[in-house]
Amino acid sequence: MSLELLSHRHRIADEGDAIDYCFRQNWSDGLPVVPPTEARVAAMLEAAQLAPDKVIGFIPEREITITAEKVAINAVLAGCKPEYMPVVVAAIECITDPAWAYHGPSTTTSGPAVLIIVNGPIARELDINSGENLFGPGWRSNLTIGRAVRLVMRNVCGSLPGVLDRATHGHPGKLSYVIAENELESPWDPLHVDRGFKKEQSTVTVLAADGPRQIFSQLAPTTDGVLTMMADDMRISGGVIGQTHYVVLLAGEHMEMVVRDGWTKTDVKRYLFENTMNTYAHLRRTYRFPLPLKPGDETRIRPLVSNEDMFFIIPAGGKAGAFSSYIPGWAKASWSRMVTKEIVR
């Protein structure tokens, strides 16, 4: 196993200029980065027990090999602590999995971000936020892990804005979009167990996804009331292209209701599936489907998703506030699939 770091070295005469140098070299996502010295990179690799030349991922359409060394350098840039490295590595393995199909989601004008959901004991060990301010600022682990993944995409895979990343708007999740599931306060099996892993394993799940849409359900006293409002919002969120994944994030007050009313995950999924149907007429009139109207369109029904298992119900978010969110996945589920991989330590 070769421990030698093979990356090209840039000599900076004035250490104080290092951050600006990184900006000038176009290595940054727009925010200052941590200058990647050999010592910092070596610490990152050591924490994950990885040889620098270990191949983490390969993107065939671009013939790009991503080595552990390059992941480590970008993790340093992002401001990760060395102990975050195994999570970043697992996320890179996910986005280079053929099922995620890197080229589509990273290039498209619809600009999805990489939603990263962390499960298992590692979330608590690394203090990855699953509660209040779920998508917001304040947690080094959430923000730097997501940022590291984006920096690899930009610096190693060439997904640069205007070049190979043509998002018309994109959304803020493209800086970083990492959450953990609130497993401790959930009556259900967590996401990774649903996806075939053991509870004591730690995993990363990625999904090409739009920004979160929040619902405010102060007047709904029961679970089905909350879900009725959510379904009403979701029903018209569907894009023109296809049936995709939907991640549903139920925060504190709503999860209390769910537990009190005794709903299972399947109950929630089924309710949402049944209440997010649209007629073809509606889809055509709102230019989601092509005109003209065809006979029978007023009664012909199209479900939002291909089946109820395309709703992924995840307890997460703060305890106070009658808010929950849902996140539509990108385009069509078959174009880029949700991928889950174990975090290896």
Partner 1 sequence: MIELLDPTRELRSGHMVYAPRPSSLKGKTVGLIENTKYNSDRLLEMIGRILVDDYGVANTKLYHKRYSSVPAHEAIITDVRQTCDFMIAGVGDCGSCSSGSVLDGILLEKEKIPSASIITHVFVNTGRAMAKQWAVPDYKFLVMQHPIANIPEEELLAKARAIVPEIVDLLLMAPEAKAAA
Partner 2 sequence: MNLQVVDEALAATREGLEVAGFSLKLGENNGRLSLTIGANEGACEECLVPKSLFLQMVRDEMAAGGVKVDGIDVVYPVDRKAE
Write out the residues near partner 1 by the rule CB under 8 A.
5, 7-13, 15, 18, 21-22, 24, 27, 35-38, 41, 64, 66, 69-70, 73-74, 77, 151, 155-158
Q: C-beta of 45: minimal distance to partner 2 in Å?
A: 16
The residue among 151 and 316 lying less far from partner 1, judged by its C-beta, is 151
Say how far residue 85 (Cα) sits from the centre of its chain: 17
The residue among 70 and 245 lying less far from partner 1, judged by its C-beta, is 70
Q: C-beta of 69: minimal distance to partner 2 in Å?
A: 11
Q: C-beta of 151: minimal distance to partner 2 in Å?
A: 21
The residue among 18 and 322 lying less far from partner 2, judged by its C-beta, is 18
Q: C-beta of 155: minimal distance to partner 2 in Å?
A: 18
Indicate which of partner 2, partner 1, none lies near residue 24 (CB less than 5 to 8 Å, by partner kind): partner 1
The residue among 11 and 169 lying less far from partner 2, judged by its C-beta, is 11
For residues 152 and 56, is the Cβ–Cβ distance under 8 A? no
Cα(329)–Cα(113) distance, integer angstroms: 9
The residue among 4 and 14 lying less far from partner 2, judged by its C-beta, is 4
Indicate which of partner 2, partner 1, none lies near residue 4 (CB less than 5 to 8 Å, by partner kind): partner 2
For residues 145 and 206, is the Cβ–Cβ distance under 8 A? no
Q: C-beta of 53: minimal distance to partner 2 in Å?
A: 13
Question: Does 292 sit behind a cis peptide bond, omega within 30 degrees of 0 on the bond before it?
Answer: yes
The residue among 12 and 281 lying less far from partner 1, judged by its C-beta, is 12
Indicate which of partner 2, partner 1, none lies near residue 316 (CB less than 5 to 8 Å, by partner kind): none
Both tokens of 141, joined, read 């682990």
Which residues here bind partner 2, judged by CB under 8 A? 2, 4-9, 11
Indicate which of partner 1, partner 2, none lies near residue 74 (CB less than 5 to 8 Å, by partner kind): partner 1
Indicate which of partner 2, partner 1, none lies near residue 156 (CB less than 5 to 8 Å, by partner kind): partner 1
Q: C-beta of 2: minimal distance to partner 2 in Å?
A: 7
Amino acid at 111: G
Indicate which of partner 2, partner 1, none lies near residue 146 (CB less than 5 to 8 Å, by partner kind): none
The residue among 114 and 151 lying less far from partner 1, judged by its C-beta, is 151
Please provide the DSSP assignment of 13-66 as one string: S-GGGHHHHHHHTT--SSS------HHHHHHHHHHTT--TT-EEEEEGGGTEEE
Indicate which of partner 2, partner 1, none lies near residue 2 (CB less than 5 to 8 Å, by partner kind): partner 2
For residues 268 and 186, is the Cβ–Cβ distance under 8 A? no
Q: C-beta of 73: minimal distance to partner 1 in Å?
A: 4
Indicate which of partner 2, partner 1, none lies near residue 261 (CB less than 5 to 8 Å, by partner kind): none
The residue among 10 and 319 lying less far from partner 2, judged by its C-beta, is 10
Q: C-beta of 50: minimal distance to partner 2 in Å?
A: 18
The residue among 9 and 169 lying less far from partner 2, judged by its C-beta, is 9
Spell 101-132 as b/e; 16+ CB within 10 A means b.
bbbbbbbbebbbbbbbbbbbebbeebebbbbe
Both tokens of 14, joined, read 């004035």
Q: C-beta of 264: minimal distance to partner 1 in Å?
A: 45
Give the position of tokens 């009403």: 232
Residue 162's CB is within 10 A of a number of other CB atoms, namely 7
Where are the alpha helices (H) located in 48-118, listed in sequence order?
Answer: 68-78, 85-95, 103-107
Both tokens of 331, joined, read 């385009």
Say how far residue 218 (Cα) sits from the centre of its chain: 28
Spell 222-240 as b/e; 16+ CB within 10 A means b.
ebbebbbbbbeebbeebee
